[in-house]
C-alpha cells in the first residue's frame, strides 16, 4: 500500500459468483419465475439453519415486519414499542397496521434496546415490542421477555442478524416471530427480499396467506393442482409480498456461503479490535460472551471530546481518501415525519441521539483484502 492509493473501499459490497448464475439459469430455463420451488427450498434451508419450524420469504424485511405484526392481530389503537436508533422501517411497519409506534431509547454500549426504558413505555394498550438486533448483535430477548407482561409479544427485527445467535439460539428463534433482510448491505442478499421466521404453526399459516393476496392457495399449488383453471378463494385482505424464484435462487447460493462469510467477518472484526484499541477517542463494539455477532457492520462511537474531529467531519476526511463510512443508522425521533406527527424533539432519547450523532461505521465486508483493512486503520490513526 502507498499513500497515493486512491481506490475506493466501499462500506459494503455483496459477494456473488458463478453459483448464483447457475441457479438463476435453472430458474430461467424452467419458465417459473414467480414464487415457486426455489423459494420453497430457500425457506426450508433458512429455517433449518436458524433452528425454526417455519421460514416464509417475502419481498423485503419491511413487508415482513408488516406481516409479522398483522399476524399477531396488531391494528388501530394498539401500541408497539420500537427503539429509536434503528432503520425507519422498524417503526413504519407499525404505522402500516394502523397502530402507534412508541419509541424508546437504546443502550449506546450495544446499540440495542434499553430494556428499562422500554418497560417504562408499557401501557395497557401495548401489544408488542420490536427487539432490533442492530448491526448483527442480538438484543437480550430473554431478559426482555422476563420483564414484559405475557400478553406483550416480542418481534425480532433481525434485519442485520442472519447467522447471529445469543444464548445458543439463533436470531429469529428468540421471540414469537423474527424478520430478516436480504438488502445488498446485509451479509447475504437477494437484491431486495426478506424472511419471516417462527415456530408457531398457526402464525406461519396466517403469514403465508397474507403474503399471497389473502388466497387460500399459493400460485404453485394452484397451477400444479388437478384443476389449475379454478381461481382460489380470498377470505381475508392480503398483500402481494411474494419473493420471486429468481431471488430464491440467489438466496440459496448466498445461504450456502453464510457461515464462511460470518467466520471471515468475525476474524476481521477481531483484527479491527486489536488494531484500533489504542485510539482512546474511539469506542469499539463489544460482544457479550453468550453471543455470536453477525457483523453486518462494524460500528464504533466517536468520543468528540477527545477525537481529532466530530464524527461527521471524520467521515468527510475518510471519503476524501476513498474510504467510505456511514453513521450507524438514524434516530427515528429526529426524522421529519416523526417529529411532525408525534412532536419528538432532537434530544428526547439521549442514547439514540448520541448514537445518531457519534456513530461511525467503517468498512467490513467479504470483498475486502488485508490491504484494505490496513488502509482503513492507518487512515484512522493518521487523522
Annotated catalytic residues are 186
Residue 102: phi, psi to the nearest 5? -110, 110
And the C-alpha cell for 345?
Answer: 424533539
CA 47/CA 53 separation, integer angstroms: 6
Q: 230-245: string of b/e by CB count within 10 Å (b at 16+)?
A: eebeeeeebbebbbbb
* Residue 291, SS3 per DSSP: strand
And the C-alpha cell for 359?
Answer: 456513530
Report the 10 Å Cβ neighbour count for 87: 19
The DSSP symbol for 15 reads -
- Are 199 and 173 contacting, i.e. CB atoms less than 8 angstroms apart? yes
CA 53/CA 178 separation, integer angstroms: 12
Cα 238 from chain centroid (whole Å) = 24
Residue 244: phi, psi to the nearest 5? -85, 160
Helices 61-71/201-211 angle, 10° precision: 120
Report the 10 Å Cβ neighbour count for 14: 21
Amino acid at each position: 500500500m502507498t499513500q497515493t492509493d486512491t481506490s475506493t473501499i466501499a462500506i459494503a459490497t455483496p459477494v456473488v459468483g458463478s453459483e448464483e448464475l447457475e441457479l438463476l439459469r435453472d430458474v430461467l430455463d424452467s419458465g417459473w419465475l414467480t414464487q415457486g420451488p426455489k423459494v420453497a427450498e430457500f425457506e426450508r434451508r433458512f429455517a433449518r439453519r436458524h433452528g425454526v419450524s417455519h421460514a416464509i420469504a417475502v419481498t423485503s424485511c419491511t413487508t415482513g415486519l408488516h406481516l409479522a405484526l398483522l399476524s399477531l392481530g396488531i391494528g388501530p389503537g394498539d401500541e408497539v414499542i420500537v427503539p429509536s436508533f434503528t432503520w425507519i422501517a422498524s417503526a413504519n411497519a407499525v404505522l402500516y397496521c394502523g397502530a402507534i409506534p412508541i419509541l424508546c431509547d437504546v443502550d449506546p454500549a450495544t446499540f440495542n434496546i434499553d430494556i428499562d426504558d422500554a418497560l417504562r413505555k408499557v401501557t395497557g394498550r401495548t401489544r408488542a415490542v420490536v427487539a432490533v438486533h442492530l448491526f448483527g448483535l442480538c438484543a437480550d430477548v430473554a431478559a426482555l421477555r422476563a420483564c414484559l407482561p405475557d400478553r406483550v409479544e416480542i418481534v425480532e427485527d433481525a434485519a442485520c442478524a442472519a447467522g447471529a445467535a445469543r444464548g445458543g439460539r439463533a436470531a429469529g428463534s428468540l421471540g414469537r416471530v423474527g424478520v430478516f433482510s436480504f438488502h445488498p448491505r446485509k451479509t447475504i442478499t437477494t437484491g431486495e427480499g426478506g424472511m419471516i421466521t417462527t415456530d408457531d404453526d398457526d402464525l406461519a399459516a396466517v403469514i403465508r396467506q397474507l403474503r399471497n393476496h389473502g388466497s387460500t392457495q399459493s400460485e404453485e399449488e394452484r397451477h400444479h393442482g388437478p384443476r389449475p383453471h379454478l381461481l382460489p378463494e380470498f377470505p381475508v385482505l392480503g398483500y402481494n409480498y411474494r419473493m420471486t424464484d429468481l431471488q430464491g435462487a440467489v438466496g440459496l447460493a448466498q445461504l450456502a456461503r453464510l457461515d464462511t462469510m460470518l467466520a471471515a467477518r468475525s476474524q476481521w472484526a477481531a483484527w479491527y479490535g486489536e488494531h484500533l484499541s489504542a485510539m482512546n477517542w474511539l469506542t469499539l463494539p463489544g460482544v457479550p460472551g453468550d453471543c455470536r455477532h453477525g457483523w453486518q457492520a462494524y460500528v464504533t462511537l466517536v468520543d468528540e471530546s477527545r477525537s481529532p474531529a466530530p464524527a461527521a467531519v471524520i467521515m468527510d476526511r475518510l471519503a476524501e481518501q476513498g474510504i467510505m463510512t456511514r453513521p450507524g443508522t438514524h434516530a427515528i425521533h429526529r426524522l421529519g415525519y416523526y417529529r411532525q406527527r408525534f412532536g419528538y424533539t432532537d434530544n428526547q432519547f439521549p442514547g439514540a441521539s448520541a448514537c445518531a450523532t457519534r456513530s461511525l461505521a467503517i468498512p467490513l465486508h467479504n470483498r475486502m483484502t488485508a490491504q484494505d483493512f490496513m488502509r482503513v486503520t492507518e487512515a484512522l490513526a493518521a487523522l
